[in-house]
Amino acid sequence: MSQTADQMELREEDIRKHYAAATALLTGFDHTPRIASGNGAEEAEERSPGIARTRRFRSTTPGLATRRQTVKHGVQLRATIEAADDEDALTSPQQATVLHTLRRAIAIAQAVAETYAEATGLSDLKRANLEGALPANRKSEFSELLTAEALITAYSWANATAYLLSTHTTETTVEVGEVEELITDNGQIALHGLLWELDQDIERHAPDDAHLIATISAFAEQVMEKVNLRAQTAPRLAPFTGASWHIEADDLTIRGFTPAAKAKSSTLTMTFKKPNEIIGNHIAKYQALKLSKMLMAYDFDRKLNPFTELGGFIFTFMGDGKPGTGKTILIQMMAGLINDYCKVADYPFRYQNLSTDNIDSYQGKSGQNTKAFVNNVIDPNVIGFGTIDDIDQIAGKRGDRQSSAGQQEITAVLMESFAGANTVVRGNCTFGMFSNYPENVDDALRQRAGARFLVDGPQTREDYIDILYLLMGKNHSIPLGDHEVFAAQEIKKAVAASFDSHSRPHEQGLLNVFDRVRDQIGELDTITKMGTYLKGIQEADERFTGRAIKNITDAVKVRAMDFELPDEWMENPELFLRKGYDEKKAMIEELRVPITTDMVLQEINRYADSEFRYADKSDEVAIEAMVRDFGRQEEAKRRYLESKS
């Protein structure tokens, strides 16, 4: 990736000059733990930092395990890593990779910290302090800058370590627990504490190379998480958070307390579906097709998509419908299209699904899993597609006693990520939430879905003939009869008919509001009249808030982009995909169509129909539950009275 305007290059010579000090840290140093305790019975004996040790010997006799003293420790991380495989006396390629990675990460962290110290005057204060000439009125500033340096050093080291090891990780995972020995006296002591604790974790969790890499990666992730929390209240970090440093040799960008990620694609094992294999669902299919191509307009140099500037980009959407109507194959179709487009353009594509497996019984872990899911998808260096299938089972309703703490955590993270104060929509990714029971999704979370895809499956006689023909396959001799296969699935014609059908509401509750308002003020053909209609909807359903109006206007802007980017633009990268941002934007603007009254009214009805549909279902479910409860109470009372008589 090319360097952007907000990045400074961290020169290779500025990194490599720290290699000697980094190697010395890996070879051996003394550290007295301040916060953390030792490993327990599995700890190795105390050792001096300058003396290499042999392979670990683990006693097989119960009670003979040795224990480190809780005073000064000689930390030999290099020896610990080389001893992570008790079977082999030679250093393995993976162990060598780990050692080079850690040295590189330490040097990068020290180079970033040095840059920060020069920019803030910390270097001058350090020299004055060594000379005993530090002014009394600057001691507080000096202490705060040292704390900031420690946090910056710790985060940059963990960020670089996780990034550089990411291509070497396997399916092996390790739970290292919370990082304890995070000391913020200064950058060097911060590294001492973290490397001491990493040494402990490797001895505890890494009997082989796969677990070694998994342990270090997990430890780095935990360090980033803890430092990030500490940094939220620490002063004097603006020079670090307001800038970014690019390291050309590693294609690594240190951007404040934001984890870096390799621009690598995910390996997809799903079965892709072609658009003609989806019968019915015309609007949902059409919008998914459009959105798949919209993502490909993303500019990796500008880190922005022209559609986000022009309007009409869908960052979040919700697909709802009855079981068996085609939500899963819609996901398969969209993932397949984006995957194929990215292969043509040579873009990294990352698909990830948030499932019930991410709900964890440990406090805070579900939220961490969800945040990791979101961060993987929004990575500005990839084209991302994130799905949350059966979101009603994964994200809990606030205030619902049936929802677990983990489900509540997931809801909170998704709400903040999809429309929070820090949400940045670059146009490189989209999130799809799917549910058979959207009425069970928290209202505020559901309203964060900027678009609604009603996945209602086949509807017409022609749809049912087409789906029977498709699923029957070729291994039969039954005649087709008087029917033109897939003619009803012609997308432009079918979508136009679907949109036209929303000139009037579909849900009875909304239809009553529509007819009443129109009887009072006439045809809804001005902004004032349509605004009056919106107020009438709000009076009928108080959940119809300003966010709903924003979602409707966003949907109208999508309709203004009521075109598909030409297929040839996706097939030949030189025609569109490889062009610069401004040229892409101009090409898109030429295809834009004017917004009409019909578009606005249809989108109001489409969105409001979905809210009334959800409310009606939710109310009906609640009523049925109350009826069952009343029935149980009556039956319990009857049995109780019988037992007393």
Task: State the SS3 of 303-321.
Answer: CECHHHHHCCCCCEEEEEC
CB of 292 closer than 8 Å to CB of 341: yes
What span, in angstroms and rounded, lies between the C-alpha atoms of 307 and 426?
Answer: 9
Q: Domain check: are 213 and 151 in the same one?
A: yes
Residue 449 sits in the same domain as residue 317: yes
Q: Could you give the C-alpha distances from 527 to 370, 530, 597, 609, 611, in angstroms and in order?
A: 40, 5, 9, 20, 22
In a domain, 503, yes or no: no
Judge whether residue 58 has pLDDT over 80: no
Q: Are residues 295 and 221 in the same domain?
A: no
The answer to the question of residue 44 being in a domain is yes
For residues 334 and 290, give the distance between their C-alpha atoms in angstroms, rounded to a whole number. Answer: 10
pLDDT tens profile 324-335: 777 788 888 899
Side-chain half-sphere exposure of 178, counting CA atoms within 13 A: 13
116-120, 143-147, 186-190, 420-424: range with lowest mean pLDDT:
420-424
Best CA proximity match to 78, nearest among 103, 42, 45: 103
208-260 pLDDT tens trace: 999 999 999 999 999 999 998 899 899 999 999 888 898 989 888 898 888 88
Beta strands 244-247 and 349-353, pairing class: unpaired
Letter for the amino acid at 624?
E
Q: What does the CA dihedral 318, 323, 324, 330 come to, rounded to 10 degrees?
A: 10
* Contact residues for 583 (Cβ-Cβ < 8 A; gap 6+): none
**Residues β-bridged to residue 430:** 385
Positive or negative, the CA dihedral 429, 435, 438, 443 is: negative
Asked if 226 contacts 179 with a C-beta cutoff of 8 angstroms, the reply is yes
In DSSP terms, which residues pair with 351 in a beta bridge? 385
- Do 125 and 96 lie in one domain? The reply is yes
Q: Which two tokens stand for residue 546?
A: 């300003």
Cβ(411)–Cβ(398) below 8 Å: yes
Residue found by looking up tokens 């360097």 in the block: 3
Of 223, 254, 285, the last residue of a domain is 254
Per-range mean pLDDT, top range of 162-171, 276-285, 479-488, 611-620: 162-171
CATH number at residue 293: 3.40.50.300
Residues 450 and 565 in one domain: yes
235-242 CB contacts, 8 Å cutoff, 24+ apart: 235/144, 235/148, 236/120, 236/141, 236/144, 236/145, 236/147, 236/148, 237/148, 237/151, 237/152, 239/116, 239/119, 239/120, 240/112, 240/116, 240/148, 240/152
Question: Over the stretch 36-54, which tens digit does the pLDDT of each residue have?
Answer: 766 543 444 444 444 444 4
Tens of pLDDT, residues 9-37: 899 999 999 999 999 999 999 999 988 76
Question: 183 pLDDT exceeds 90?
Answer: yes
Q: What's the gap between Cα 493 and its chain centre?
A: 36
Helix ranges, 346-459 (H): 365-378, 391-394, 405-419, 443-446
Contacts of 323 (CB under 8 A, 6+ apart): 436
Element (H, E) at 435: strand 429-435
Q: Is residue 38 part of a domain?
A: yes
* Range 110-135 average pLDDT: 94
Q: Considering the domain boundaries, does residue 352 fall inside one?
A: yes
Span between the terminal Cα atoms of the chain, in Å: 83
DSSP-assigned letters across all residues of 48-109: -TTS---------STT------SS-EEE-HHHHHHTS-TT-SSPPHHHHHHHHHHHHHHHHH
Q: How far apart are CA 179 and CA 157, in angstroms?
A: 14
pLDDT digits (tens, 9 = 90+) for 585-605: 999 888 888 888 998 998 898
For residues 641 and 644, what is the distance between their CA atoms, to the nearest angstrom?
5
What is the total count of domains within the chain? Answer: 2
d(C-alpha 513, C-alpha 220), whole Å? 56
Ranking 124-133, 493-502, 516-525, 553-562 by mean pLDDT, the lowest is 493-502
Distance separating alpha carbons of residues 265 and 134, to the nearest angstrom:
52
Report CA-CA distances (Å) from 618 to 432, 450, 622.
21, 21, 6
At 55, the pLDDT band (50, 70, 90 cuts) reads: very low
Confidence of residue 269 (pLDDT cuts 50, 70, 90): low
Same-domain check for residues 300 and 447: yes
Distance CA 476, CA 466 (A): 16
Which is more confidently placed, 91 or 68? 91
- Better pLDDT: 398 or 494: 398
Percent of the chain past pLDDT 90, that is, above it, reads: 37
What does the buried/exposed string (b/e) look like for 145-171 if buried means 16 or more CB atoms within 10 Å of the residue's CB? bbbbbbbbbbbbbbbbbbbbbeebeee
641 assigned to some structural domain: no
Q: Residue 614 falls within a domain, yes or no?
A: no
Q: How confident is the model at residue 274 (pLDDT cuts 50, 70, 90)?
A: low
Same domain, 181 and 211: yes
Are 344 and 570 in contact by the 8 Å Cβ rule? The answer is yes
* Band of pLDDT at residue 63, cut at 50, 70 and 90: very low
Within this chain, do residues 407 and 441 fall inside the same structural domain, yes or no?
A: yes
> Same domain, yes or no, for 168 and 209?
yes
The CB density around residue 441, as the number of other CB atoms within 10 Å, is 26
Q: Which domain holds residue 246?
A: 7-254
| Whole-number pLDDT of residue 368 | 81
Using a 10 angstrom Cβ sphere, with 0-12 exposed, 13-18 middle and 19 or more buried, the burial of residue 242 is exposed
Give residues with Cβ within 8 angstroms of 340, minimum separation 6: 272
What's the gap between Cα 34 and its chain centre?
Answer: 35
| Nearest by Cα to 212 from 174, 249, 178, 160 | 174
- The span from the CA of 559 to the CA of 554, in Å, is 9
- As a whole number of Å, the CA-based R_g of the chain is 30
Between these two residues, 571 and 186, which has the higher pLDDT value? 186
Contact in structure between 224 and 162 (CB atoms under 8 Å)? yes
pTM assigned to the model: 0.59
Q: Which amino acid is at 322?
A: K
326 and 467 assigned to the same domain: yes
Place of tokens 């105390």: 46
Residue 385 pLDDT exceeds 80: yes
Closest CA relative to residue 258, chosen from 133, 146, 162:
162
* Alpha-carbon gap, residue 151 to 182, rounded angstroms: 9
Residue after which a domain boundary falls, among 563, 580, 595: 595
Is 539 domain-assigned?
A: no
Residues 6 or more apart from 47 whose CB is under 8 A from it? 53, 74, 76
pLDDT of residue 160: 95
In whole angstroms, what is the distance from residue 131 CA to residue 123 CA?
13
**pLDDT winner (highest mean) among 96-110, 259-273, 337-351:** 96-110
Q: Of 183-187, 318-322, 327-331, which has the strongest mean pLDDT?
A: 183-187
In a domain, 302, yes or no: yes
What angle do helix axes 405-419 and 365-378 make, rounded to 10 degrees? 30
Q: Based on the fold, state whether residues 224 and 336 are members of the same structural domain.
A: no
| In contact, 223 and 124? CB cutoff 8 Å | no
The region, left, alpha or beta by phi > 0 then psi within -120 to 50, assigned to residue 281 is left
Say if residue 342 is in the same domain as residue 417.
Answer: yes
